[in-house]
Amino acid sequence: MRERLLELLREPGTGANLSLKNATLRDSQIEEGQLVSTQTGRSYAIVRGIPRFVPPNSYAESFGLQWNKYRQVQLDSDAHTHISRARFEAEAGWTQQHLSDKWCLDAGCGAGRFAEVAAARKANLVAMDLSSAVEAAKKTLEPFPNAEVVQASLLEPPFESGSFDFIYCIGVIQHTPDPRRAIEKVVTLCKPNGQFAMTIYGRKPWTKLSGKYVLRPITKRLPQNVLLQMIETTMPLLFPVTDVLFRLPLVSKIARFAIPVANWVEHTGSTRETRYAEAVLDTFDALSPRYDSPMTAGEVESVLKRVAAKRWEFRRHPSIVCVGIH
């Protein structure tokens, strides 16, 4: 981490200032050390250049497993596609003109697929994740001197309210134990007139009848490495079957609803090998998390009203996409 990050960091919960102790520097970056609360005296470690505000093995550690093993699968820079960039533009819509030299938070960065898009647009980026996926994100963001990585919880972030000009949170909120509080944090961490973008799994009356949610009571309780091995073992059969079914005009919607395999046949710019790896990754992503609580637009809107967001709009997709101004 770079010293400029100290300007933003605060103790989670108390909001107290943090003082740097026992720092080890390499190439003008802080590699190891402790951040000590001036209020409670509690110490938070800096390990391999990443400030750590949570213990290891959190409820989100399935994401750490998947992103460290499949770090490069969804990165535009490695897959030689523009899929992540196109999704970022559709769901956040911020260009380099918006982000250049502005503080931007990636709330739930995973391996950094969207973080590298924002960093390439010259944002002063902080990529935050609860899980050990921060190790993957650190590798992804190595080319960007304007990017930092922090391991922390969105529900208890190590920042003061009003710290960021832009915040995006794509595909994360439904995987927290308190989605409403997560939405609140995304909005209130924005500066006055700061902008936010959130993508959340949408809930319809029939959502929980899908194959994914029928299986999840079992799969989320399996050891993560066992579940991943099961998916890797069965995918040679499931991938070609879904590759056909998911393309049939009259069958695809029913097949996608019933079969919990994330085969993105619409990703025409990807190679078959990349789509196969993504199918393994995203199927595990669907079946492994401890929490998966899709929401309605009305539920999201009730939180935005409570935290006095100035304005917002919903962009309809299979998921809820909400952008707004604090």
Tokens of 178: 């308190």
pLDDT digits (tens, 9 = 90+) for 173-183: 999 999 999 99
Average pLDDT, integer, range 83-99:
95
Confidence at 218, pLDDT banded by 50, 70, 90: very high
- The DSSP code for 171 is S
Place of tokens 């520097």: 25
**Domain segments of the chain: what residues?**
1-50, 53-202+294-325, 207-287
Q: Residue 210: is its pLDDT beyond 90?
A: yes
In the chain, which ranges are continuous DSSP H helix?
A: 61-69, 76-79, 83-91, 96-99, 115-120, 133-140, 179-188, 211-219, 224-245, 252-258, 272-287, 297-306
Across 47-79, b (16+ Cβ under 10 Å) vs e yields eebbbbbbeeebebbbbbbbbbbbbebbbbeeb
Confidence at residue 27, expressed as pLDDT on a 0 to 100 scale:
84
pLDDT mean across residues, the chain:
96
Superfamily in which the 53-202+294-325 domain is placed by CATH: Vaccinia Virus protein VP39 (3.40.50.150)
CA 6 from centre of chain: 23
Does residue 62 have a pLDDT over 80?
Answer: yes
List the one residue out of 105, 206, 189 whose CA is nearest residue 150.
Answer: 105
pTM (predicted TM-score): 0.95
Question: Percent of the chain beyond pLDDT 90?
Answer: 94
Residue 304 has pLDDT above 80, yes or no: yes
120 pLDDT higher than 80: yes
Q: Is residue 248 helix, strand or coil?
A: coil
Q: How confident is the model at residue 256 (pLDDT cuts 50, 70, 90)?
A: very high
Average pLDDT over residues 293-302: 96
> Mean pLDDT throughout 280-292?
97
What does the alpha-carbon distance between residue 262 and residue 283 come to, in Å, rounded to a whole number? Answer: 5
Q: How confident is the model at residue 268 (pLDDT cuts 50, 70, 90)?
A: confident
- With contact defined as beta carbons under 8 Å apart, do 326 and 310 qualify? yes
DSSP string, 120-132: HTT-EEEEEESST
**Percentage of residues of the chain with pLDDT beyond 70:** 99
> Is it the case that residue 317 has pLDDT exceeding 70?
no
